[in-house]
Amino acid sequence: MDSALVKVLHLKHHAVALLWSDSKPENGAMQFQKGKWGCVMWLAAHAAKGKHAFCDKETFGCFGGGVGLGFGNQYLNFPVGIKGFCHFLSVGNIEQEGGEDLANSVRPFMHTESFDNFLHGERYIETPEKVQNFIDSLPITEIPNKYVIFKPLKDVDPEREPPETVIFFANPDQLSALVVLANYGYGDNRNVIIPYAAGCQTIGIYPYQEARSEKPRAVVGLTDLSARVYIRRQLKDKNLMTFSMPWKLFKEMEANVPGSFFERHSWKSLMEE
């Protein structure tokens, strides 16, 4: 589809449509191998480069990615269980009783960086108990379809396959404009959220949750430091955030482009610099 919003933002990367489907994409779409580690944000970045990617319940790359895209509570399947994940995100597993044995049992299934984090912790949350609170607060979802598909928005026919989420990789000026436009039709200043969550969760389960509300909000992401590292490598840009909209909100914002601030001098001057 052609998008007035995409055009007026002058995005460097393609807008990305996230779709649910029971049909496997055509040959050539990127998919992680079963049982192999990968970051879901690579799939989104692949689509931002103009290509197609997808995953299912066996090829979502990492346990957080499985949660983030709506394949249930995959933290339960983390090596040595949810307790192991709670230590992974906080203080690490090496100090646990039997930590060395745990490490030896999971080492074959992790790459070097993940294994180091398993031992010593990502330190994103203070304690394992607070990680459990974080998990309990997530809008964990079990989607009704087999596949999650990422495509450039330009390749989508919304009459045939309306996206669940539309994702922009935006720089600070573009992000600012998107926040303004999300509020434009309402005037109540509470139409965008920026939760602490994994990069995949801010393009998946959080927008999914918003889509179920009467007035869905947009979700700002890439506050996930690990995901920022991966996206910087993939898209060669250190100044990007994600801005994810449930399909209903995207359509409203798209309709509000004409007559808005995009036609005025402040926005135009930002684009001239």
| For the chain, domain boundaries | 4-63+150-272, 73-137
Which pLDDT value is given to residue 28? Answer: 86
Which pLDDT value is given to residue 98? Answer: 67
Which pLDDT value is given to residue 99? Answer: 67
Which pLDDT value is given to residue 108? Answer: 65
Which pLDDT value is given to residue 110? Answer: 67
Tens of pLDDT, residues 104-126: 766 666 677 777 887 888 999 99
Which pLDDT value is given to residue 58? Answer: 94
Strands (E), the chain: 16-21, 53-55, 147-152, 165-170, 192-193, 218-221, 241-246
Query: Is 211 within 8 Å of 246 (Cβ atoms)?
Result: yes
Task: Give the residue ranges of the chain where pLDDT is below 50.
Answer: none
Which pLDDT value is given to residue 232? Answer: 95
Q: Is the dihedral of CA 128, 130, 131, 133 positive or negative?
A: positive
pTM for the full predicted model? 0.93
With CA atoms as reference, report the closest residue to 61 among 219, 163, 204, 212. 204
- What does DSSP assign to residue 181? H
User: How far apart are alpha carbons 159 and 163 in whole angstroms?
Assistant: 10
User: How far apart are alpha carbons 122 and 47 in whole angstroms?
Assistant: 28
